[in-house]
Amino acid sequence: MSSFHRTLIVLFVALFGGDMFASVSSADDGADYGYGKTATSEEISGWDIDVRPDGKGLPPGAGSVEDGEYLYEDKCAECHGSFGEGNNQFPALAGGEGTLTDKRPHRTVGSYWPHTSTLWDYINRAMPYAQPESLSDTEVYAITAYVLFLNDLVADDFVLSRENFSTVDLPNKPNFVPDSRPDTYNVRCMKDCKEPGSIHVVTSIERQPAQAVIAQSEPLRVPVGEDIYRQACGLCHDNGLAGAPKPRDDRDWSGRVDQGMQVLVRHAIEGFQGETGTMLPKGGFSHLSDEEVKSAVVYMVGESL
């Protein structure tokens, strides 16, 4: 401990007394407040998986474009297309170069993303969609290398590793710049300020009285089963992705409906591993309420009968 710190502590004890100091230092020692527990380093390492643009956070390892091709075809192509072109409503992972200034820019990993680390991290953390965090480090390296290859950024014999990671830049990186604008141009008023009640908010966007705008707008609709289905379920169920039963397909539903509505709803809320695949709890959309999921199941089953 430096003598400066020691001096400070002496001062502190002198000013506030030993007891106070004892309680401050015991907070650092993990005092027991009667709830929670200190996270173990193992628990922390489970959460601490982010990878930064300079490669910090990457685990040791490597993976080749060649291995990535097989893995990608097996685990990703169904949704993202064999060439990264994207299937149905699933995002494309390649293409779109030179379209960023178009009216309808085509943003992909290759045309838009600034950092390779985001790609590695995203795949590692969130993909495949229904089995997040299921890939080994080697698999993530290989699949990342393959997605880079699909974007013509590396050659077909490339092997991506922690060591050469920072040599692969994404083309749009230079176009991301720090935003130097201040949060606000206004100076905060600290004295003789305007009475808040006397301030009127005016809008220059619509030169119409607010009431008129409200009257013209659509009435708010409470989301119903079909909306929830469209937002959260259709993405797999519409086309039977990953083994999801398609509404309106009797073969997919006859056995399931026999289980009764209650079981179907429970499977949709709590998740379900069946013979054709994995239904994540709430399809992965954990913000949905149980009622909303139920309404979507009712809609799906109704469509199937």
- Closer CB to ligand HEC, 3 or 262, in the complex: 262
What span, in angstroms and rounded, lies between the C-alpha atoms of 179 and 171? 20
- With binding defined as CB under 6 A, does residue 268 bind ligand HEC? yes
- With binding defined as CB under 6 A, does residue 110 bind ligand HEC? no
Among 85, 285, 303, 304, binds ligand HEC (CB under 6 A): 285
- With binding defined as CB under 6 A, does residue 21 bind ligand HEC? no
Among 122, 132, 138, 230, binds ligand HEC (CB under 6 A): 122
Among 53, 59, 61, 128, binds ligand HEC (CB under 6 A): 128
The residues near 111 (Cβ < 8 Å, ≥ 6 apart) are 95, 96, 97, 98, 99, 100, 105, 171, 172
- With binding defined as CB under 6 A, does residue 276 bind ligand HEC? yes
Residue 213, helix vs strand vs coil: helix
Among 55, 115, 129, 298, binds ligand HEC (CB under 6 A): 129
The residues near 284 (Cβ < 8 Å, ≥ 6 apart) are 129, 130, 232
Binding span for ligand HEC by CB under 6 A among 37-45, 46-54, 87-95, 161-169: 87-95
Report, in angstroms and rounded to the nearest whole number, the Rg of the chain calculated over CA atoms: 27
Q: Give the relative orientation of helices 65-75 and 137-150 as an angle to the nearest 10 degrees.
A: 90
Residue 138, helix vs strand vs coil: helix
- With binding defined as CB under 6 A, does residue 236 bind ligand HEC? yes
Binding span for ligand HEC by CB under 6 A among 3-11, 56-64, 209-217, 260-268: 260-268
The residues near 185 (Cβ < 8 Å, ≥ 6 apart) are none
Burial 116-147 (b: 16+ CB within 10 A, else e): bbebbbbbbeebbbbeeeebebbbbbbbbbbb
- With binding defined as CB under 6 A, does residue 271 bind ligand HEC? no
- With binding defined as CB under 6 A, does residue 160 bind ligand HEC? no
Residues that bind ligand HEC (CB under 6 A): 75-76, 78-80, 90-91, 93, 108-109, 119, 122-123, 127-130, 143, 147, 232-233, 235-237, 241-245, 256, 259, 264, 267-268, 272, 274-280, 282-285, 288, 293, 296-297
